[in-house]
Amino acid sequence: MRRRTPRRLLGVLAAATAAFTLFSSASTAGAADTSTAAATSASAARSADAAARPLSTSTPVVFVHGYTGNASNWITAMSVFRLNGWSSSNLFAYEYDSYGNNITNAQGLASYVNNVKAKTGASKVAIVNHSMGGLVSQYYLKVLGGNTSVSHLASIAGANHGTTYAGACLVFTTCQQMYPGSSFISQISSGDETPGDTKYATWYSACDGIIIPYTSTRLDGATNNNVLCQTHIGYLADTIVLGQIADFIAS
């Protein structure tokens, strides 16, 4: 994995949505010895490399909500992305039927991504999902071949291997599919969980409370980030995690 250059971001107060940008100060050495000259040369090389590989904030981002969620779940996330260089015209929220069928929901996501690509002229999009949105996204990327249209996938507390919490709503097909051991879970978790050239990352926490077991979010082959303590819904306002996701997608 390429070493990433320092990013501007990481911390936006949820209430005020104000950004704290980290700046790295350049060293101004005055000594003329060989070691100082070498360090200066290396610093210049890193700066040139950073200029050659700017943050990719032009990638359209499609946000996929969780069970009973909607587009409003992503208000804070979109604010964080805008503060990190994204245009509002490149931020999209896909909505689906939480009580229907996640196969149908994934097919709808495929159509939605195609529309975003046509509207923006981009060849690929990034996907950020939450909770059951992980199932919708994984089915799209793995079963429907959507990985060819997705540069990055970030799964926040995704129910990627199911959750026993879904036992409370098994009257709905989506919850049946979300229960560990379901045929739907088997289909998206068998074999390669991170297919194609897509970059995958997950964020999960023992304090989740909804994704049980909380390690269900992890994907083999992904960069799996264990958050010290965050609740399932709390992620949606966690500007630190959202900032990390913006940085991941910009890489």
Q: Catalytic residue at 208?
A: yes
Report pLDDT for 213. 98
Average pLDDT over residues 166-181: 98
Does residue 173 carry a pLDDT above 50? Answer: yes
Average pLDDT over residues 58-73: 98
- Cα dihedral sign for 119, 66, 58, 138? negative
What is the value of pTM for the model shown? 0.79
Report pLDDT for 18. 35
Cβ atoms 204, 154 nearer than 8 A: no
Query: Which one of the listed residues 79, 98, 131, 216 is annotated catalytic?
Result: 131
Q: Which candidate, 165, 233, 178, 182, places its Cα nearest to that of 205?
A: 233
Task: Say what the alpha-carbon torsion angle 87, 60, 63, 185 is, to the nearest 10 degrees.
Answer: -170
Lowest mean pLDDT among 16-20, 90-94, 189-193: 16-20
Cα separation, 144 vs 107, whole angstroms: 8
Cβ atoms 208, 229 nearer than 8 A: no
DSSP-derived letter for residue 168 is G
Does residue 24 carry a pLDDT above 90? Answer: no
End-to-end Cα separation, the chain, in angstroms: 10
Does residue 70 carry a pLDDT above 80? Answer: yes
Report pLDDT for 106. 98
Query: Which one of the listed residues 65, 152, 161, 232 is annotated catalytic?
Result: 232
Distances (CA, A) of 224 to 64, 106, 158, 207, 218: 19, 23, 11, 16, 6
3-state class of 90 per DSSP?
helix
Query: Which one of the listed residues 189, 205, 208, 238 is annotated catalytic?
Result: 208
Cα separation, 150 vs 201, whole angstroms: 13
Q: Catalytic residue at 131?
A: yes
Mean pLDDT score of the chain: 84
Average pLDDT over residues 80-95: 98
**Residue 112 Rama label (left phi>0; alpha psi -120 to 50; beta):** alpha
Both structure tokens of 59: 């990638």
Lowest mean pLDDT among 14-28, 103-117, 188-202: 14-28
Average pLDDT over residues 32-50: 37
Does residue 13 carry a pLDDT above 70? Answer: no
**Residue-wise over 27-62: b if at least 16 C-beta within 10 A, else e?**
eeeeeeeeeeeeeeeeeeeeeeeeeeeebebebbbb
Q: Catalytic residue at 232?
A: yes
pLDDT band at 56 (very low <50, low <70, confident <90, very high): confident
pLDDT band at 28 (very low <50, low <70, confident <90, very high): very low
182-238 confidence digits (pLDDT tens): 999 999 999 999 999 999 999 999 999 999 999 999 999 999 999 999 999 999 999
Helices (H), 53-101: 75-83
Which is higher by pLDDT, 45 or 131?
131
Report pLDDT for 150. 98
pLDDT band at 27 (very low <50, low <70, confident <90, very high): very low
3-state class of 215 per DSSP?
helix
